[in-house]
């Protein structure tokens, strides 16, 4: 009788333990239809991990999400996993609130970091440590309207490769359509400046782009920076370019989709969207690497997008559950689905291999452009992109001065100089507390 | 009814107003003054984004703001933006309200249409105008191209971004003022209006000279309310329409504050900015009160 | 010119001005409706469309599928009703105190309340307020989105002005009849204020329906979000390119307040301020 009772107790204990699921919160910034997509991924995870329940929340844009994270951390109500954008990396490291995924990996023999793309890892490594799990990675590529290219007498299979060719193509198109179509629609976002700098192997800030120490000043007022400013200014003056307002992704895409602009720089994460939109609006488009000045040294593509952070202050069991989830999201199958649905490239080698061998890229070559651009990147500090705590403010400094240049208030040289000065001020102010 | 209080007589009656004020004051002290106090404290510190590092800097946040040409520009721009949009709104809403009280055919429909923007939130108002002012496919530019043969980049070029902002602000704010003016013009005795409309050649001037002063208490109230709206609630319209651009041209104080607080994560300076805004509003109100008290025509 | 012909000329002038201005004012909303009914391929048609040529209801279906609007509308309605009710209660009570009583510290209390106009919660006060909500355990609840906004200077002033315009002889005779201050307030003052309460209800409802920044920060789950945030979710920079769907979402957010306004506008015009805001 007594034995039976013990057995019963044990059974009850096992039952309650298995019933008590570990609940973790996951916040992300992927709006629109991607909300559903990520919810499905989490469901899939929940189904295969019966002891864990992931609750997914879309928390608005990257900025909204970061702000929410900040208030919730200070209030002691932080989520377990949160998606943070590329330029938030240093802020997150300095905040000291995350459990570095590098530490969790070290204790997990099932995990093989060697399967990840080294280019992606090297972007997210700060002071030699991997703090967050790469998830949605992108870089900037050129989108061009093949239909317009053909019509205007340009070779639709030969997108411009240099700044000069680009300007010339923009000129030809604008002239051909008498200004009803312009060559280039520019999303006034500092991200493209940063990408074009890296493509020329030029630095944004000192201490090797912030990779070997906390940056103390901005250094982008150099030849490469000036070439970009002048290139943009020339096209603006010639009337072969329309710029959007600051960081207006939608506005810029609309310029391209409505065929008002023949070329666009945008994230590779737009590929899937553009494939649909071009079909709906009856034109053909192509993608290419970012243009660079003809005489510029070879550079690389900076990783953009976001990564998954595990926030500390939760019980060990929950952190482990969060790690399981993060691992799952970065796994081959999920990365392939995510890549196909959006255009963000997979962060793992085996995913790329699978896609390549299944003939996916033969069918959808535009999905490959950004990946190739990344693979062919130089591996140096400048091509890797900068890590700066004050990056959001630096972006505004670059954008404001670009706008002033477009408005004719400043010459390219003056605008660049002022942007650098403002950026340096922002860096110094950020460093005051550290 | 409440025999106890009533039985208390005179002494109870003394206590009454305080009891009546309790709900209001509990709420404003807890949810406005207490957070404002924290913000005041925060304005004396520099903090890291996640608040894990904090250093006391005294008044340095304030000093840095007053030395920052961009901030001083935002202050100047705010003064211009507020005064222009409030002046236009007051002027237009009064004229339109006057016309709507003339009993011309169709008044009800016009009034309905003119009211509509009031129901729209500032963020959505900004979204609508952003689309209409789109340089490529927007309806406004289609009109401009047809009528004057010009294309304007409304939201990305000087000075058009300012005009666009003023336009959207007036569009959003005018219905509120108009409602108050309609009601108060209806209260002005008919004889005065009749006399002023029929006498002499210059009708509008007379309306302006006679009726406008008669509704000055309303104007007084509306000016304050409009200043508050344009100072603080204009954030959403600026954010959606121009994002403060081009080149910081339309960055007003509240937008700068928002950028510093929620984009650049500079809580200390942002807190200092909110204190400055509070101080400016206080000064403006005191000046306006003492000035307008003498001018306001009480019936 | 005779008086009547001059009057006619005036009327024509007024008509012209009113037609022009009201056309400009309603146009954005009509265009939003037009856009919300366009299929994606004709959103960018040039020349742009001014009136609906298609009835592409799918935009609305898609908007509802992308964002859980039904729940968000319910949330917005709950929040708007709670805030409106709270503001009316606190506002009438405080307005009564300021209008009908003389007491020590009255002018200080009045200035103290007035100054809150210049301390909007939407600014930097959001952070301390959030921390306070957390201490109260209110994060992600209706309480957080309503109680802090249940008192305001504007409502108090509105009711104060109105109560002051009611002849004090009424109060005196009520007192002689043996009615206490609360009886007078409930039985006489409030019934006399139906119209202004109606006006204030609309204003407060629209205000709370349109709240933006605070709900954005304080809500953690979809089931607590409001309609305004729903629109933001639709616009969310990196996903939507279909203006038809965005405009459909916009209309979903605007329609309730717009309808409220259109149906109650007579009450509104008659009531509000009619006797208010005069010293």
Show residues of chain A in contact with C42, CB under 8 Å.
none
B157 touches C at CB < 8 Å: no
pLDDT band at C131 (very low <50, low <70, confident <90, very high): confident
**Could you tell me the domains of chain B?**
1-42 (no CATH), 61-295 (1.10.3720.10)
Q: Which residue of C has its CA nearest to B107?
A: C18
- C47 assigned to some structural domain: yes
Per the structure, the count of domains in chain A is 2
Residue with the bigger pLDDT between A89 and C11: it is A89
Q: Is the pLDDT of residue B285 over 90?
A: no
Q: Is the pLDDT of residue B107 over 50?
A: yes
pLDDT band at C202 (very low <50, low <70, confident <90, very high): confident
Cβ separation C94–B114 shorter than 8 A: no
Whether residues C49 and C175 share a domain: the answer is: no
pLDDT band at A374 (very low <50, low <70, confident <90, very high): very high
The DSSP bridge partners found for residue A141 are: A266
Whether residues A341 and A245 share a domain: the answer is: no
C211-224 pLDDT per residue, tens: 888 888 888 787 88
| Closest CB from A57, A247, A257 relative to C220 | A57
The per-residue pLDDT for B51 is 83
Exposed/middle/buried for residue C267 (C-beta within 10 Å: 0-12, 13-18, 19+): middle
Rounded to a whole number, what is the distance in Å from the CA of B47 to chain A's nearest CA? 7
Q: Is the pLDDT of residue B10 over 60?
A: no
- C172 assigned to some structural domain: yes
Residue with the bigger pLDDT between C100 and B245: it is C100
Residue C244 phi, psi (nearest 5)? -60, -45
The per-residue pLDDT for B193 is 63
Whether residues C44 and C98 share a domain: the answer is: no
Q: Is the pLDDT of residue A434 over 90?
A: no
Q: How far is CA B252 from CA A172, B74, B87, B148, B207, in A?
A: 40, 5, 18, 31, 35
C-beta of residue A99 within 8 angstroms of C-beta of residue A326: no
| Closest CB from C28, C254, C270 relative to B119 | C254
Residue with the bigger pLDDT between B7 and B268: it is B268
C26-50 pLDDT per residue, tens: 989 988 888 888 887 666 666 667 7
Whether residues A121 and A46 share a domain: the answer is: yes
Whether residues A147 and A253 share a domain: the answer is: yes
Show residues of chain C in contact with B17, CB under 8 Å.
97-98, 101, 103, 106
Whether residues C84 and C200 share a domain: the answer is: yes
- A194 assigned to some structural domain: yes
Per the structure, the count of domains in chain C is 2
Q: Determine the average pLDDT of the residues in C69-93.
A: 95
Q: Is the pLDDT of residue A27 over 90?
A: yes
pLDDT band at C247 (very low <50, low <70, confident <90, very high): confident
Q: Domain holding C196: CATH number?
A: 1.10.3720.10
Residue A424 structure tokens: 């340096």
Least confident of A195-199, A384-388, B51-55: B51-55
Whether residues A240 and A352 share a domain: the answer is: no
Whether residues A205 and A314 share a domain: the answer is: no
Neighbours of C195 (CB within 10 A): 18
The DSSP bridge partners found for residue A286 are: A144
Show residues of chain C in contact with A32, CB under 8 Å.
66, 234, 236, 238-240
Residue of A71, A253, A260, A268 for testing the chain C interface, max C β-carbons within 10 Å: A71
- Give me chain A's average pLDDT, please: 92
Instruction: Give dist(CA B88, CA B100) in Å, integer.
Output: 18
Cβ separation B242–A67 shorter than 8 A: no
Whether residues A277 and A226 share a domain: the answer is: yes
Cβ separation B17–C106 shorter than 8 A: yes
Whether residues A58 and A201 share a domain: the answer is: no
Q: Is the pLDDT of residue B103 over 90?
A: no
- A7 assigned to some structural domain: no
Residue with the bigger pLDDT between C37 and A75: it is C37
Residue with the bigger pLDDT between A83 and B15: it is A83
- The last residue of one of the domains, among C14, C37, C56, is C56
Q: Determine the average pLDDT of the residues in B232-238.
A: 88
The per-residue pLDDT for C35 is 84
Q: Is the pLDDT of residue A184 over 80?
A: yes
Provide the chain B residues 188-227 that lie in CB contact (below 8 A) with chain C. Answer: 197-198, 203, 217-218, 221, 224-225
Cβ separation A280–C238 shorter than 8 A: no
Task: Give the pairing type, strands A304-310 and A182-188.
Answer: unpaired
C-beta of residue A348 within 8 angstroms of C-beta of residue A332: yes
- Give me chain C's average pLDDT, please: 83
Domain that holds residue A101: 24-137+303-363
Whether residues C163 and C209 share a domain: the answer is: yes
pLDDT band at B119 (very low <50, low <70, confident <90, very high): confident
The per-residue pLDDT for B46 is 92
- C157 assigned to some structural domain: yes
Domain that holds residue C19: 1-56
Report ipTM for this prediction: 0.85
pLDDT band at A409 (very low <50, low <70, confident <90, very high): very high
Instruction: Give dist(CA C65, CA B224) in Å, integer.
Output: 43
The per-residue pLDDT for B5 is 45
C-beta of residue C214 within 8 angstroms of C-beta of residue C140: no
| Closest CB from B2, B224, B274 relative to C123 | B274
The per-residue pLDDT for B8 is 47
Whether residues A130 and A153 share a domain: the answer is: no
Whether residues A76 and A208 share a domain: the answer is: no
Least confident of A430-434, B36-40, C119-123: C119-123
Q: How far is CA C165 from CA A58, B289, C57, in A?
A: 51, 21, 51
pLDDT band at A144 (very low <50, low <70, confident <90, very high): very high
Cβ separation A91–B265 shorter than 8 A: yes
Whether residues C95 and C23 share a domain: the answer is: no
Cβ separation C241–A247 shorter than 8 A: no
- C277 assigned to some structural domain: no
Residue of A191, A250, A255, A267 for testing the chain C interface, max C β-carbons within 10 Å: A250
Whether residues A132 and A154 share a domain: the answer is: no
The per-residue pLDDT for B7 is 45
A222-246 pLDDT per residue, tens: 999 999 999 999 999 999 999 998 8
Residue with the bigger pLDDT between A13 and C106: it is C106
Percent pLDDT > 70 in chain A is 96
Whether residues A133 and A144 share a domain: the answer is: no
HSE, side-chain direction, 13 A CA sphere, residue B218? 29
Peptide bond into B159 cis (omega under 30): yes
Percent pLDDT > 90 in chain C is 25
Cβ separation A72–C216 shorter than 8 A: no
The per-residue pLDDT for C220 is 79
Percent pLDDT > 90 in chain A is 82
C-beta of residue B205 within 8 angstroms of C-beta of residue B242: no
Whether residues C194 and C244 share a domain: the answer is: yes
Least confident of A87-91, A340-344, B281-285, C125-129: C125-129
The per-residue pLDDT for B299 is 42
Whether residues C31 and C69 share a domain: the answer is: no
Cβ separation C257–B270 shorter than 8 A: no
HSE, side-chain direction, 13 A CA sphere, residue C210? 22
Q: Is the pLDDT of residue A18 over 80?
A: no
B127 touches C at CB < 8 Å: yes
Whether residues C19 and C31 share a domain: the answer is: yes
Cβ separation A251–B134 shorter than 8 A: yes
Whether residues C64 and C47 share a domain: the answer is: no
Whether residues A132 and A155 share a domain: the answer is: no
Q: Is the pLDDT of residue A391 over 90?
A: yes
Q: Three-state secondary structure along B183-251?
A: HHHHHCCHHHHHHHHHCCCCHHHHHHHHHHHHCHHHHHHHHHHHHHHHHHHHHHHHHHHCCCCCCCCCC
Q: Is the pLDDT of residue B50 over 80?
A: yes
Chains that touch B (3 or more CB pairs under 8 A): A, C
Residue with the bigger pLDDT between A401 and B292: it is A401
Whether residues C9 and C102 share a domain: the answer is: no
pTM: 0.89
The per-residue pLDDT for C188 is 87
Least confident of A170-184, B131-145, B159-173: B131-145
Q: Domain holding A344: CATH number?
A: 3.40.190.10
Q: Determine the average pLDDT of the residues in B76-94.
A: 96
Strands (E), A122-223: 125-126, 129-130, 133-138, 140-145, 182-188
* CA atoms A33, A38, A42, A47: torsion sign: positive
Instruction: Tell me which DSSP letter residue A305 carries.
Output: E
Q: Is the pLDDT of residue B198 over 70?
A: no
pLDDT band at A168 (very low <50, low <70, confident <90, very high): very high
C137-171 pLDDT per residue, tens: 888 899 999 999 999 998 998 888 888 878 888 88
The DSSP bridge partners found for residue C230 are: none
| Closest CB from A396, A407, A429 relative to B158 | A407
- C153 assigned to some structural domain: yes
Q: Is the pLDDT of residue C278 over 60?
A: no
B263 touches A at CB < 8 Å: yes
Instruction: Give dist(CA B247, CA A155) in Å, integer.
Output: 37
C-beta of residue B160 within 8 angstroms of C-beta of residue C59: no
Provide the chain A residues 240-269 that lie in CB contact (below 8 A) with chain C. Answer: 247, 249-250, 253-254, 257-258, 269
C-beta of residue B178 within 8 angstroms of C-beta of residue B143: no
């Amino acid at each position: 009788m007594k034995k039976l009772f013990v057995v019963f107790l044990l059974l009850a204990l096992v039952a309650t333990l298995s019933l008590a699921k570990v609940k973790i919160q996951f916040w992300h910034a992927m709006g629109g239809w991607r909300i559903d997509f990520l919810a499905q991924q989490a469901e899939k995870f929940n189904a295969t991990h019966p002891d864990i329940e992931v609750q997914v929340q879309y928390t608005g844009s990257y900025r909204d999400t970061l702000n929410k994270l900040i208030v919730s951390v200070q209030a002691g109500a932080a989520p377990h996993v949160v998606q943070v954008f590329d330029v938030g990396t240093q802020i997150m490291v300095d905040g000291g609130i995350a459990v570095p995924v590098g530490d969790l990996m070290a204790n997990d023999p099932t995990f093989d970091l060697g399967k990840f793309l080294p280019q992606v890892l090297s972007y997210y490594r700060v002071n030699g440590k991997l703090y967050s799990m790469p998830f949605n990675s992108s870089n900037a590529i050129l989108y061009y309207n093949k239909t317009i290219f053909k019509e205007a007498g340009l070779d639709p299979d030969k997108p411009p490769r240099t700044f000069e060719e680009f300007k010339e193509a923009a000129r030809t198109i604008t002239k051909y359509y008498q200004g009803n179509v312009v060559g280039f629609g520019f999303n006034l976002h500092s991200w493209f400046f940063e990408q074009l700098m890296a493509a020329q192997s030029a630095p944004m800030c000192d201490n090797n782009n912030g990779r070997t120490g906390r940056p103390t000043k901005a250094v982008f007022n150099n030849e490469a920076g000036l070439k970009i400013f002048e290139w943009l200014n020339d096209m603006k003056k010639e009337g072969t370019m329309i710029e959007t307002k600051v960081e207006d992704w939608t506005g810029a895409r609309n310029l391209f989709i409505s065929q008002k602009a023949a070329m666009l720089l945008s994230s590779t994460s737009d590929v899937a969207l553009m494939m649909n939109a071009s079909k709906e609006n009856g034109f053909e488009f192509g993608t290419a690497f970012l243009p660079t000045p003809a005489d510029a040294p070879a550079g690389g593509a900076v990783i953009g997008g976001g990564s998954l952070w595990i926030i500390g202050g939760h019980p060990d069991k929950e952190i482990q559950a969060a790690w399981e989830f993060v691992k799952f999201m970065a796994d081959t199958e999920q990365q392939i689905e995510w890549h196909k649905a959006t255009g963000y490239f997979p962060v793992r080698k085996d995913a790329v291999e699978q896609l390549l061998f299944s003939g996916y890229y033969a069918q959808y070559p535009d999905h490959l452009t950004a990946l190739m651009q990344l693979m062919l990147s130089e591996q140096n500090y400048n091509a890797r992109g900068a890590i700066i705590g004050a990056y959001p403010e630096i972006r505004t400094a670059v954008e404001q001065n670009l706008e002033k240049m477009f408005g004719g208030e400043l010459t390219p040289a003056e605008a660049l100089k002022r942007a650098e000065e403002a950026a340096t001020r922002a860096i110094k102010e950020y460093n005051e507390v550290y | 009814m409440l025999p106890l209080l009533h039985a208390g007589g005179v002494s109870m009656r003394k206590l009454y107003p305080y009891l009546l004020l309790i709900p209001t004051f509990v709420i404003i002290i807890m949810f406005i003054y207490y957070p404002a106090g924290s913000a005041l404290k925060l304005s004396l510190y520099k903090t890291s984004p996640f608040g894990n590092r904090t250093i006391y800097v005294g008044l340095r946040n304030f000093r840095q703001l007053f030395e920052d040409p961009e901030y001083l520009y935002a202050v100047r721009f705010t003064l211009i933006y507020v005064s222009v949009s409030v002046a236009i709104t007051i002027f237009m809403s009064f004229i339109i309200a006057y016309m709507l009280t003339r009993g011309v055919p169709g008044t009800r429909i016009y009034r309905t249409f003119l009211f509509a923007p009031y129901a729209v939130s500032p963020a959505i108002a900004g979204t609508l105008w952003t689309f209409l002012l789109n340089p490529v496919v927007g309806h406004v530019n289609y009109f401009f191209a047809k009528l004057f043969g010009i294309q304007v980049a409304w939201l990305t070029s000087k000075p058009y971004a300012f005009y666009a902002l003023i336009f959207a602000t007036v569009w959003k704010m005018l219905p509120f003022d108009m409602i108050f003016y309609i009601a108060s013009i209806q209260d002005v005795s008919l004889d005065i209006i009749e006399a002023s409309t029929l006498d002499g050649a210059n009708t509008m001037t007379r309306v302006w000279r006679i009726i406008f002063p008669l509704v000055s208490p309303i104007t007084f109230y509306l000016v304050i309310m409009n200043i508050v709206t344009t100072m603080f609630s204009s954030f959403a319209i600026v954010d959606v329409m121009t994002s403060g651009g081009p080149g910081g041209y339309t960055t007003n104080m509240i937008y700068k504050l928002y950028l510093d607080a929620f984009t650049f994560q500079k809580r200390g300076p942002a807190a200092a900015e909110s204190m400055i805004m509070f101080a400016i509003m206080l000064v403006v109100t005191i000046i306006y009160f003492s000035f307008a008290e003498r001018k306001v025509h009480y019936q | 010119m005779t008086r009547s012909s001059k009057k006619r000329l005036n009327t024509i002038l007024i008509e012209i001005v009113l037609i022009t201005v009201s056309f400009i004012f309603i146009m954005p909303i009509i265009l939003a409706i037009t856009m919300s009914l366009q299929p994606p391929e004709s959103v960018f048609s040039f020349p742009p469309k001014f009136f609906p040529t298609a009835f592409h209801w799918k935009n609305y279906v898609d908007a509802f599928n992308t964002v859980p609007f039904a729940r968000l509308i319910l949330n917005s309605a709950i929040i708007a009703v709670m805030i409106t009710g709270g503001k009316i209660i606190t506002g009438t009570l405080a307005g009564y105190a300021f209008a009908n009583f003389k007491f020590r510290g009255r002018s200080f209390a009045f200035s103290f309340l007035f100054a809150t106009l210049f301390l909007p919660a939407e600014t930097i006060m959001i952070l301390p307020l959030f921390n306070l909500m957390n201490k109260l355990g209110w994060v992600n609840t209706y309480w957080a989105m309503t109680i802090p906004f249940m008192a305001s200077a504007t409502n108090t002033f509105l009711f104060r002005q109105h109560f002051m315009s009611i002849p004090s002889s009424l109060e005196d005779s009520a007192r002689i009849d043996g009615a206490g201050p609360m009886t007078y307030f409930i039985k006489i003052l409030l019934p006399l204020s139906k119209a202004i309460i109606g006006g204030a209800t609309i204003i407060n409802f629209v205000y709370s329906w349109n709240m933006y920044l605070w709900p954005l920060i304080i809500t953690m789950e979809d089931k607590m979000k409001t309609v305004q945030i729903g629109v933001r979710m639709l616009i969310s920079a990196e996903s939507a390119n279909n203006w038809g769907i965005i405009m459909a979402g916009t209309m979903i957010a605007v329609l309730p307040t717009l309808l409220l306004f259109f149906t109650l506008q007579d009450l509104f015009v008659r009531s509000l301020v009619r006797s208010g805001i005069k010293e």
